[in-house]
Amino acid sequence: MKLEGITPEREQLIASVMNEGRRMSARTVVFHAAIADRLGLNASDHKCADLICNETGPITAGRLAEITGLSTGAITGVVDRLEKAGFVARVPDPEDRRRVVITGVTGRTPDIRHMFLPMMEGMAKLCDKYSNDELSLIAGFMQRCGAITDAQIVNMQAAKATPSAAGAPTAESPENLDKIAVDGG
């Protein structure tokens, strides 16, 4: 990717940020795969459990399929495995007893949390090396990167649903990312 109108030094710094982001993403995938393996789960099951227990709260299987991009059949298998392993339970929807929602089971939480403690402690020590202003800048950058990633997930899912839309310019197209980087979305 060639950036227009910037110094070679800035171009190199931007490339370095993007490269380190890619490397961090790969490390994160490998880290979560290792945790999933320790828990006797596969990576998709682990991340679905994380979504249910830490992000969405009680959720229908259909909505979980929408969020993850997995088929409803695949989600049924994920939920079956997570329920058998004691991470989630199927419970009647309190608003519509004909429906079932998937909810996290707190009993397995300590099994997972202790695996993250060394990572959390290491990151806390790293944060000690930065000022509050620097940490605020880093957190804001990470949040805006997350917003860009979320937008691209939506674009990819939309392109999958309507193949003719693939490659069509969007608000999150490269030429429009400066607005996201400044405004946060």
The average pLDDT across 104-108 equals 78
Asked if residue 167 has pLDDT above 60, the reply is no
Q: Which residue has the higher pLDDT, 75 or 93?
A: 75
Q: Residue 184: what are its φ and ψ, rounded to 5°?
A: 80, 15
Please name the residues in contact with 70: beta carbons below 8 A apart, sequence gap of 6 or more: 44, 64, 78
- How far is it, in rounded angstroms, from Cα 165 to Cα 158? 8
Please name the residues in contact with 14: beta carbons below 8 A apart, sequence gap of 6 or more: 3, 6
pTM, two decimal places: 0.68
Query: Is residue 90 a contact partner of residue 102, using CB atoms and an 8 Å limit?
Result: yes
Asked if residue 168 has pLDDT above 70, the reply is no
Radius of gyration of the chain (CA): 20
